[in-house]
Amino acid sequence: MMRKYFDRPEPEYRLMAIAAARLRSEGLSQLLIAKRLRRSQPEVSRMLDFAEKHRFLASAPSFLSQNIGPAELKEVERRFFVHLELRQALSKLAPARLHLNVQVLPDGDDEFAMAAAGCVARLLQRAKFVGVMWGRTIQRLVSRIGEHRELFDQAGRREALCIPLCGDPVRLMNLGLAKYSASHLAAQLAQAINPDPERQSNQPCLVGVPAYLPRRLFLRQGSGAAANWEAFVAEIPGYREIFGPNGEQPWVERLDMILSGAGIIAQQTRPGARRVAGEPTAAHEETGDFILERVKQEAQEKEGLSEATLARLVYGDIGGWLIEKHDLRAAERRLVESLNQGWTGVKGVHFARVARNAEPDGAPGIILVAAGASKAEMVVELVKRGFVNEILIDSNLSSALKKLLGLDQ
């Protein structure tokens, strides 16, 4: 049986063995192959034996591609080789010593969510305190984590605490979209990965916390009103546990992993065509929920706020935190700062801290799950700012990144 070589489903093992065979034929030692594939040297040795047995590899060694189906060759190329060039290009843009990895996953909602869940499940094994964001993409992924239950059933495995990192956008909660709530997803993830899912959980939640407080509370009524609203939110027990002050180190300062998507502003807004309450696909170009939350809440103001205005000011958001563009005028910077001031969830300083502490075999850091070509510029900017460590993207976004970085020439 194939599992005596490697405890993985047959297609997964074959793909990895094919990749190992090709790397060996290119002159890499078993130790280097192990590092490249993130497996142990004994595992690589068994994979190479498997490759020789199934005639993927000659003893010379030579890679015998004629004995491998075209579909498998294409999948191995996509998963183990294409993204290396992309990772190297992105790493040059990142802050020094920042751990960065890129994995290119299949296009399509189900295929992307399934592959991303497998990647995240392996990363979760190294995490103690996991921050979870609101999101449609995150919901699809978390719903699949349970399929990897065997990774978390090991005896003596420590329990990971799953912590929501943002409240709920009022606009969407009014539409009954509670399944995307960070609090709901954190609880669902905790149940999937912890050894005793029936045990009473003591994890904090942010139910009842608005994700965003409009600017009028801060700008028109004076600092006293702003302080009152901030004090009100800070008195909600779950918020105080996560963000402080609570008399001890808050959970947000203990995080070693954050699971987040990224929001962008759609290039073309079609009035009446946006599926706000529906189920857009992962790669569908649609303005992010947390950006729309600000637009809707600021609509009451005389000057208002439009997607077109925000498109000139920000690249998008990660976990609700707006990423401003460069070379803004002073007034434009103040506008973005005020829009971030009303954000009650995790902030840029938290993303930067978690990302800095990430290590290849230690704390996983910031896990960005993103699909669709329109997010390429946003991903590059997050890399430059050191806000991401593990990038899980689909093939469409990979192609767009390569084009943006000049790798497709």
pLDDT at 220 over 70: no
Q: Which residues have CB under 8 Å from 200's CB, separation 6+?
A: none
Of 1-10, 204-213, 308-317, minimum mean pLDDT range: 1-10
Question: Is 384 exposed, middle or buried, given 0-12, 13-18 or 19+ CB atoms closer than 10 A?
Answer: middle
Instruction: Give yes or no for a contact between 383 and 100, defined as CB atoms under 8 angstroms apart.
Output: yes
Cis peptide before 245 (omega within 30 of 0): yes
Maximum separation of any 2 CA atoms in the chain, in Å: 77
Q: What pLDDT digit, counting tens, does each position of 12-40 carry?
A: 889 999 999 888 876 678 998 998 888 89
Domain ranges of the chain: 2-68, 81-404
What CA–CA distance (Å, rounded) separates 288 from 317? 8
Whether the domain at 2-68 and the domain at 81-404 fall into the same CATH topology: no
Per-residue confidence (pLDDT) for residue 302, from 0 to 100: 63
Q: Cα 56 to chain center, whole Å?
A: 34
Q: What is the second-level CATH architecture of the domain 2-68?
A: Orthogonal Bundle (1.10)
**What average pLDDT does range 223-229 have in this prediction?**
61
What CA–CA distance (Å, rounded) separates 178 from 207? 10
Token pair belonging to 153: 């059933």
Per-residue confidence (pLDDT) for residue 64, from 0 to 100: 75
Domain 81-404: state its class.
alpha beta
Q: What are phi and psi of 266, to 5 degrees?
A: -60, 140
Of 71-75, 116-120, 320-324, minimum mean pLDDT range: 71-75
DSSP state of 158: P
Q: Are strands 262-263 and 314-318 parallel, antiparallel or unpaired?
A: antiparallel
Nearest by Cα to 250 from 322, 346, 183: 346
- The angle that helices 376-385 and 83-93 make with each other, rounded to 10 degrees, is 50
Per-residue confidence (pLDDT) for residue 327, from 0 to 100: 92
Q: Which of 54-58, 232-236, 301-305, 334-338 has the highest mean pLDDT?
A: 334-338
Of 2-16, 57-71, 209-223, 388-402, minimum mean pLDDT range: 2-16
Question: Is 347 exposed, middle or buried, given 0-12, 13-18 or 19+ CB atoms closer than 10 A?
Answer: middle
Query: Which H or E run includes 120?
Result: helix 109-124
What CA–CA distance (Å, rounded) separates 48 from 346? 45
**What average pLDDT does range 55-67 have in this prediction?**
76
**What average pLDDT does range 255-259 have in this prediction?**
98
- How many CA atoms lie within 13 Å of 81's alpha carbon, on the beta-carbon side? 14
Per-residue confidence (pLDDT) for residue 108, from 0 to 100: 86
Per-residue confidence (pLDDT) for residue 61, from 0 to 100: 65
